[in-house]
Chain A
Amino acid sequence: MGNTKILLDHGSGGKMAHQLTTEVLLPLFDNPMLAMLHDGAVFEVNKGRLAFSTDSYVVDPIFFPGGDIGDLAVNGTVNDLAMCGAVPRYLSMGLILEEGLPIDDLRRILTSARKALDQAGVQLITGDTKVVPRGAADKIFINTTGIGVVPARVKISADGARPGDKIILSGTMADHGIAVLTQREGLRFESEVISDTAPLNHMVQAILALTRAVHVLRDPTRGGVGTALNEIALQSKVGMVIEEEKLPVTPAVAGICELLGFDPLYLANEGKLLCFVPARHAKAVLSIIQQSPCGRNACIIGQVVADHPGRVIMQTRIGGQRIVDMLSGEQLPRIC
């Protein structure tokens, strides 16, 4: 292909669009269903329940330490399905490209999307590409929609937390939020922090193979662990008590948060889950999570209580107590 950048013609539905599809997209996502280039994908389903989820990805910058918008778009939807207890099977991908996007960037993004699909064991079976004039979008936006199969007897929902449940967090907080932040204009600085973007479906399947008594699964993405806990407390009409000392944060992330006045409890994660299980299963579930490559730093951060429904309380390190509220607005750096 002679062009090195995306042109409006690539979204025209004509020859250039066909060329983009056959030369860039298809070689990367080669599977019989996609290769049909039909208006939609057709597949068999067995009896049972399906999970269905969609998400759009507009991350800035599109490349960040530890990942890019491509693997993020795959992992994000895979994880949303996994949090329903589903085994993710198929994904669709809609690309909105800004005129002028280097085709090499697109290839790089789609290559990492492909790797993420392989890692999750999920197939991309339908897609769409649109090109908009320069300025009408920022480089690339991706929408992915996914379908997964929910095994029998799995009943996971945000209103399922019960007093006595232990709350497990599968690893360190805020890695994705900080990794992206350090690349933002005006704040560029060297750090060792990399995004935690990763598919969590294998971890979830390992947990559910051990016990189906899991009450809630949630990936604390935007809004972070603090917001996710509050949402679950409200929906389940329960209180929660977490321990500051147990909350896992890498020293690098903790240091940057101190410097900029951010609270890691409210920064995004893209490869972590919160798991609510009855206390009797907590140790076994924790140990299964810790065996997963992205769950090594998992720990029990607190428990569900019947008191103060809808509220999350933190026991601070020095023995005090405070409320952990939902994030309101974006976290902004402090002024003095």
Chain B
Amino acid sequence: MSIDGKLFGESFRDPALAQSLVRQIKGHATQPMRLMEVCGTHTMAIFRHGIRALLPPTIALLSGPGCPVCVTDQQEIDGFIALAQRDDVIITTFGDLLRVPGTYTSLQKEKAEGADVRVVYSAMDAVQLAQAHADKTVVFLGVGFETTAPTIAAAILMAQQLGLENFCVNCAHKTVPTALAALVANPAIRIDGFLLPGHVSVIIGMNAYDDFFQKHHTPCAVAGFEPLDILQGIAALARQITSHRPALENSYGRAVTDQGNAKARAVMAQVFEPCDARWRGIGTISGSGLAIRPELARFDAARRFKIAVVEMKPPKGCACGEILIGAKTPLECPLFRKRCTPMDPVGPCMVSSEGTCAAYYRYHS
């Protein structure tokens, strides 16, 4: 991809090495197997690099609930939008959330109607914005997994240090390991192995999956996002499944350790505590969310603004819920490519750059 010099990632896209991993996978995958890539970035990378075309027909790749925007419950999205409609609030968010439809409207549409909604690239930008706009309350929409949670925790600590009264976070963070157990417990889906997310695992470390693995013995491989990383992870899973030797395997050793990132985990623990969280498509999973600790309550938008949102039904026909748990593919959704397109999305999986439906729409023939 570059005209001169090699990018760091380039050595992980070597065609000859890729072919050799594909041969390994074909050797192992002698029986049908259903592998779930939990992370939305994996889903996109698998499509972008054309990996599906390389795999034997015995391997079915299911996309999991790993797109943070997609698993955010509709009620929470409606809550974000209700906040945006207030005159005394500046909403700050990562770009992905902007177009996600709530029950009636989206942040993008509200922005066009005059709501002050700003896309930022870091939660620290939101803190700066709060310093510059003392007359407004700057609310950051905290959506994401353990990858983004530490930076948002750091932003809250920064705001505390600065003595900022007008900054808070609407916290809808979720954690990955707890969701895995909910997925294997669901009788509607059969998962033979998990391709676990690389970025999340950099933060939480391999040890964070121990409880899940000891209990369920589902084959697991943590993988990075370059084509060779992904192929290596798939090869590991195929080997474990065929040999009936499930393992918790680290196929991303250059970035993921057993302990994870101690500093990031400490910051998270200082600011957040586990809470029950609602996942679109899955329902409430005990202890799978992150809430702001009571001693930092003034930075918690949920406590500051009592926003009453009525529970609404998801749009008729939308299969996002089933797609998020791998029970359906987008091709099985009656709205896919018809009523629901990236230009006019019905469900969040079509909006987010990491959504399964968006990936199928862009890359699947």
Contact = CB atoms under 8 A, between A and B. Distances in A.
Interface in A250-303: 250-251, 254-255, 258, 260-261, 263-264, 297
**Chain B: interface residue count, which band?**
35 or more
A318 B352 contact: no
Contact of A335 (B2, B9, B231, B354): B354
A247 B1 contact: yes
A193 B2 CA distance: 14
Counting chain A CB atoms within 10 Å of each CB, the highest count among B54, B98, B362 belongs to: B362
A152 interface: no
Interface stretch (B11-19, B109-117, B312-320): B11-19
B49 interface: yes
A46 interface: no
A87 B352 CA distance: 43
B7 A258 contact: yes
B1 A332 contact: no
Interface string B4-40: 1101010001110011001000000000000000001
A331 B352 CA distance: 10
Given A323-B363, A325-B362, A336 B199 contact: yes
Given A334-B353, A335-B354, A319 B343 contact: no
B97 A335 contact: yes
B3 A250 contact: yes
Given A249-B3, A251-B2, A251-B4, A321 B9 contact: no
B349 to A, nearest CB: 14
A155 B99 CA distance: 42
A197 B18 CA distance: 38
Contact of A186 (B7, B14, B51, B121): B121
A254 B1 contact: yes
A244 interface: yes
Contact of B341 (A172, A248, A328, A332): A328
Given A333-B95, A335-B68, A320 B50 contact: yes
Contact of A328 (B7, B228, B343, B352): B343
Nearest to A261: B353
B282 interface: no
Contacts of A249: 1-3
B26 to A, nearest CB: 13
B69 A335 contact: yes
Given A251-B7, A258-B9, A316-B49, A323 B364 contact: yes
Contacts of A325: 361-363
A187 interface: yes
Contacts of B13: 317-318
B143 to A, nearest CB: 7
Interface of B: 1-5, 7, 9, 13-15, 18-19, 22, 40-41, 47-54, 68-69, 94-99, 118-121, 125, 143-145, 147-148, 199-200, 227-228, 231, 341-343, 352-354, 361-365
Given A315-B50, A323-B364, A335-B354, 13 more contacts: A247-B1, A251-B3, A254-B7, A260-B121, A311-B365, A316-B50, A318-B13, A319-B19, A320-B50, A323-B365, A332-B95, A334-B353, A335-B352
